[in-house]
Structure 1
Amino acid sequence: MHLGGRPVLDAVTVDIPRGQVTAVVGGDGAGKTSLLGALAGRVPITGGTVTMPAREDIGFQPSTSGVWRDLTVDENIDFVGGAYGLSPELLAERREHLLGPAGLGGVGDRLGGHLSGGMRHKLGFCLAMLHRPQVLLLDEPSTGVDPVSRVQLWRMVAEAAAAGTAVLLSTTYLDEAERAHRVLVLEDGAVLGFGTPDEVIASVPGTIGTEPLRPPGPRSGRAWRRGNIFRVWNPSGHPDPDQQTDLEDAVIALMLARNEQRGAGHG
């Protein structure tokens, strides 16, 4: 897939099972937004195929929340409900089912632009779920959201999946991604890892250890700070069952491994 003449996604394959949450992680420019846009039919692809339900069966929340700021909460709901042709009875049922648990039941007359960031993102989620889509695509729904709203958002995401919706979301928070059924790790449009969080962690070559100070010499480039300690990736190390590695460590190590492979190829 190309944008502006440059490749943004290269041989990325992902399926989105119903009843599961699939998280897409990666740094800026990794291709997360392009992938969701392509799946939502908002970004044209130059190669490969996208197999998705009809557009009316897809829910999409952009990173901007998808809320019309100059409309009230109720007007946002009415506008989206009308676009999908929901009957007044069904719209009333969906409004009550979604807004109450999201903590938005008593702010129907408030403008979208006057909501807090967390409330606006929760409203965007409700808009994406209003028509009961088969597939739900969420582009960084919790970025910049307060901790309490993040918990509420993830509860709503988990409930949507439990009800049978196929959920694909991008996130910058790796602790969130660890809650997903599966994780897709992207960098520069390429896949670094894909599977359950445990499978992604197990795919890291070598080992990741802990040291109190940044190591000197070449090993310095394989170290990163976590709190008051440094984590150090050793590509030739042997697994240590006592060493605890989480998804954040694994993603960083996979990125370091790819950078070293690219550097060796250019040498």
Structure 2
Amino acid sequence: MKRISTAHRIYFFAVCSFGLFVGGMGYLAPELISWAVPLTPPPLHARTVASLYLAGGTMMLLAGLAQDARQVRLPTVVATIWTGSLGIVTLLYLDQFDTALRSTWFWFFAYSVYPVAGVYFILRFRRGPTSGERAPLPRMNRVLLGVLGAFALAVSLLLLFLPGVMVNVWPWKLSLMLAQIYGGPLMGLAVIALLMTTADKEECFISAVGISMFPVLALAASLMHLNLFAPWAVSSVIWFSCLGIASLAGAFVLMGIAARKDSSRKGKQ
């Protein structure tokens, strides 16, 4: 077993602290999210953004506590895509950031330093030795992850590159900037879902936690603000259906991986 380096562990805890702070603040007290980030989104947007950050922050926390370097390969990828894409989006909207706020400068720091560090750890991991046979996830899990990943990737690309289209079809009011901010984290989750379809089962638990957390939290947030959705509108039905299906699929995959991990431990005793 190749252990995680101290520098890699510090990286995870740094990303984790930012993600959980933004996520906790945005979800529990959405009116105060501007303390954590230089944005002032309405409550539903704050909680939806927070759902992404809580899922990502939890993955980073688990990765920081992991021992085997194989377990953190996918979390490193999602952190790099997430922070890198948001860094690029930030450059597109520099005029909308108030440089008098401390949160703005931390935002600039995080989304410039974190992706560079992530690329470094990805390249370092690729140079590391690999050993042992790979055991992929069961076929049903891989099919579910493939479908979820492909759909989420399509939505994330539309949010990032055709935000005007998504603004028009979104089930509640959405700005161009928020559309692209959603796109980055969603792309990260989509990519690791697709990578999990070919990854070793030992690599997948941490990523499965994040994939299962986001739709559950986003669904709960949406139910808190039902008054913002047009009843039985096509966009509303699609939104709740997708989150519901993704929640069930994510829970199924996570429970399957957790059960296999428990069986493996018992078999070694």
| TM-score tier (shorter) | under 0.3
* Structure with higher helix content: 2
TM-score by length of 2: 0.27
TM-score by length of 1: 0.27
Larger radius of gyration: 1
* Structure with higher strand content: 1
